[in-house]
Structures are given as C-alpha cells and as structure tokens.
Structure 1
C-alpha cells in the first residue's frame, strides 16, 4: 500500500515524538501516549500540561495521606475528591463535542466523555497505588480495579462502581436485548487498543464539528499504528472525498475493495467512484 501519510509540523512547537507502529507502548503510560497524540493534533505543550497535572496530584495525595493501603475505603474517598469536591462529571448535554474528548480540555473543564475521563482517572488511581486497567467496553470505557479481595468496575462517566447486573443492562442497550455480558467484554485492553479507541472517538468528534482536515489527521495516525487496516483506509477515503481529494479517495476505496471484495459496502464504493468528477477535484 502506498504511504500517503500527512506531514504536519507545528512550526511554533518543538518536534515531538510521533505516534506510529514503533511507539513504545510498553514503557509509556497511557496518559503520556494519549498526550503524544493530542500534541500532534492541537500543538499541546505536554510539559506545561504535566506541570498543571502534578499540582492536582499533590492535592489528591495530601488528602489521602491517612490511608495506608489501596483498599475500597481509599477508592471511595478518591472518587469523592474527584467527583464531589473537584466537580468531575460526564457531560450529558454535549457528549460528542471535541472539548469532551481532548484530555487537556477535559482536565480544564472537569467534564468529558467516558474514555477521556477514564484516561485521566487511570492516572490518578495509579498515583494512589491502585492496580487498574482500562476496558474498551461496548457501551463506554470502564476501569478494572483489583482490590484486596475483589475486582470492581468503575464507570468514569458517573464516578460510580458498576454492578455486573448494570453492565449487562448496558450491553443489552448497546447490542440488543439478546446480548449477554461475557468475561471477554470486561477483559482489560492494552494501551495501544485504548489509544486507537481514543483516536476513533476524537475523529468522530471532529467529523461532527465539520473539521474534516483534523479528522483526516486522526485517521492518518490510526494508519500509522496499523498501516494495513483496510477499514480505516476505507474511512479515510470518505474523508478525502469530502475534501474533494478524489484521486486519493478512489485509491483508498480500491484498496479496501481489493482486500474485502465480498463486503456489502463494495457496491456502494464502486458507485461512489463512478460518480466522482475528477475535473473538479482538489489536486495534491
């Protein structure tokens, strides 16, 4: 497959580590990985953000200084600090907005969506010595917490611990009444998988905001992580099409059709190509 990666440099910012298939997820925190993505997309100064974050970490640590162990009592105290005292909350009114996905904006506003709140919360929990992992759950991001004598699941959107019965109801609401909650659904995910989920959410938010150029950058980063993801190539083709980059869109559609010739969407892509007016396309 031909590499059509976008080359974007923020001239006012130092050159930062880019997210790609060689990124060291194993030795990088999830938060640092996501901030690496955000720095490329928005020009975020990671060092300045981390300075602000450390101030809040100090506040949290001081308030929990009396707890010797990372037990359920300490967990509930931490959640009270974050969700009651500091006002973190899920933003029900503007769920699919860019400001609810970008970590820096969520940190500043104390509002966000499950995955953005969850990534921040994972960092706070790890600071307080909890054994935690993220889960790309069907109905929204969850946090897996291993306590002394039990495993609990935290919903970062509400700041509440979710029972197995509640999770099963959410699965049915997302996947249909006949869906069943399985252990695989609550299996922790790797940092790379979570970063990909974050990028897809961010891409969707930029598409809704009609900022197709930045949505295309999100797609480009996803393809750096997995260059042969034919479905992401197809989606990038739709973004190229919206930008009237029709030759690039055609190339992406044809790549997908070659990889998945029996996919139901193939006939739609063929029709899209037939209807393209290459005389009026944006040239690259």
Structure 2
C-alpha cells in the first residue's frame, strides 16, 4: 500500500480547522501557497536529475532560498503549528517544517518519509539500498552517530536506538504525537477555548483516556470544576498506574476544595 507522505500535513490542516473560525478563508490561502511552492519546486528541480540531487535541491530551496527556519527561542510556541503563520513567516518547528517537506516530496515523488524518533521528527531518505537521515530543524543530513547521541541525551548514557525507531513512522503513532504536542502547546499558553475545541474533537473520534484527562485539565483552567472533576476521575480510574495519575489525584483534591468554596461553579 502506498505510504501517504501528505498525511502529517493534513493533520496540521485539520488542527487549524478546529481551533480557528476563519478556516474557509485560510484553507484557500494554504492551498494556494502550497500550490505555489510546488510549482516553484517543479521549475527548479529537473526530473532528469538523480533522486539524490533532486532531494538536495529541494532542501536548498526550502531552507536557503525560501528561508524556512526554526527559532530556538520560540520553539514550543503554538503559532509554530499554525499553517498560515508558518507559510507567511517561514518559521516553525521540526515537525511543521518536516510536514511541509513531506508534502512537497509527495508532489515531486521523492522518497522522503517521516521517522518517529523519540526526541523530534526526523526525515528518512531511501535511495536504492542507501538510507540518509535529514534533520528538519535545518535541512542538513544527520548521522546515526549523532542520532545515538541525541537518544542517549534523552534516555541516559548507554541507551541504544532500536532499529524500528529509525524506520518509516507508523502514521497512527505519528498522529498521536502531533495531537499531544498540539494539546500541550495550547494548554501551556492557556489558549483554553482553542484547547477545549481541539480536545473535544479528538474525544468525539475516540474515548482515549489521555484526551479525557487533558480535557479535564483545560476545564479546570476554565473554572468548569464539576465537569473537570468527572474527566479527571475517569482518567485516574482507567489509568491508575500512569505516572501523571499521582499528580491528577492531587488536582482532584484541590478541585473538590474549589467546589466546596464555589458551589455555583460552571458546569
């Protein structure tokens, strides 16, 4: 079955659709800007070149000629997940720039695929029997030795990358990671209305306890204590061994105190 390299980009579109009201207008703008990038890339990249040269030229276009970049000072800002912002200011984070490269790779039929590397999205180039890894932070190739260093930095000295962690990403796992990243960004910046709309859309698709937990946390921030209490109690009941359950139990105690002091809180 054909691997859908556009699938991650489509998650960005869906996310923006849910949290903003101007989706119809933005959808046209996003489609127009991405179409323009595809046309520019096709003009600049000859189909007669080797696959490796075509990929190198695509990365030069994205990072050098078009100026896409990551800002380390604003790495986790939610705006780095908003496609209109990313396409207007050419600024994002590795997962958002990676999604754009994957979209272009699909349009140009280039063998670039996402990798669910634990620390951030990595891109995998497959040319015959050769595999090259690309860091979407800057478009440069990244060695397996460097990836091993990043892995040990995350999991401790001596931890070894498992071969499957460098294979093409399982798309459902990729989507789950994107969803958690998006939720975390909105919740951290207290964009409560947008976070609630996005999480509610996820709950309607699946009764994943982690989405219900996060909805409860947002509802607590919004002052909807009785409903938040139900969601958080559901999570603790379903996932008692999860490390966050200890924190949630503390939250439950605090919420019950809030309810006692504010019996007419929002339901």
TM-score by length of 1: 0.82
* Residue 36 (1) aligns with residue 17 (2): no
Deviation by residue 1:19-55 (Cα, 9 ceiling, x = unmatched): xxxxxx9797432343122112123331331012111
CA distance, structure 2, for counterparts of residue 275 and residue 204 of structure 1: 21
SS class of match (1:134)? strand
CA distance, structure 2, for counterparts of residue 129 and residue 70 of structure 1: 12
Is the CA contact 1:145–1:154 (under 8 Å) kept in the aligned structure 2? yes
Quote how far apart the aligned CAs of 1:166 are: 0.8
Out of 133, 147, 151, the position equivalent to 1:171 is 151
Is the CA contact 1:100–1:113 (under 8 Å) kept in the aligned structure 2? yes
Is the CA contact 1:206–1:212 (under 8 Å) kept in the aligned structure 2? yes
Higher relative helix content: 2
Work out the number of aligned pairs and report it.
Answer: 258
Quote how far apart the aligned CAs of 1:171 are: 0.8
* Residue 185 (1) aligns with residue 185 (2): no
| 1:56 alignment counterpart | 37
Is the CA contact 1:142–1:154 (under 8 Å) kept in the aligned structure 2? yes
Out of 121, 133, 137, the position equivalent to 1:157 is 137
CA distance, structure 2, for counterparts of residue 266 and residue 98 of structure 1: 26
| 2:175 alignment counterpart | 195
Quote how far apart the aligned CAs of 1:214 are: 1.4
Is the CA contact 2:81–2:182 (under 8 Å) kept in the aligned structure 1? yes
Is the CA contact 1:70–1:147 (under 8 Å) kept in the aligned structure 2? no
TM-score by length of 2: 0.87
SS class of match (1:205)? helix
Quote how far apart the aligned CAs of 1:264 are: 4.9
Alignment of 1:85-104 (within 5 A): 85-104=65-84
Distance 1:141 1:154, change over 3 A: same
CA distance, structure 1, for counterparts of residue 67 and residue 248 of structure 2: 46
Distance 1:176 1:103, change over 3 A: farther
> How large is the Cα RMSD of the aligned pairs?
2.3
Distance 1:124 1:266, change over 3 A: closer
Is the CA contact 1:101–1:201 (under 8 Å) kept in the aligned structure 2? no
SS class of match (1:32)? helix
Unaligned ranges ≥5, structure 1: 1-24
Is the CA contact 1:106–1:112 (under 8 Å) kept in the aligned structure 2? yes
Unaligned ranges ≥5, structure 2: none
SS class of match (2:74)? coil
Quote how far apart the aligned CAs of 1:138 are: 0.9
Alignment of 1:263-282 (within 5 A): 263-276=242-255, 277-278=258-259, 279-280=262-263, 282=265
Distance 1:164 1:262, change over 3 A: closer
SS class of match (1:68)? coil
CA distance, structure 2, for counterparts of residue 49 and residue 151 of structure 1: 31
| 2:225 alignment counterpart | 246
| 1:235 alignment counterpart | 214
Deviation by residue 1:49-78 (Cα, 9 ceiling, x = unmatched): 10121112111110112x425511111111
CA distance, structure 1, for counterparts of residue 142 and residue 192 of structure 2: 36
Quote how far apart the aligned CAs of 1:241 are: 1.1
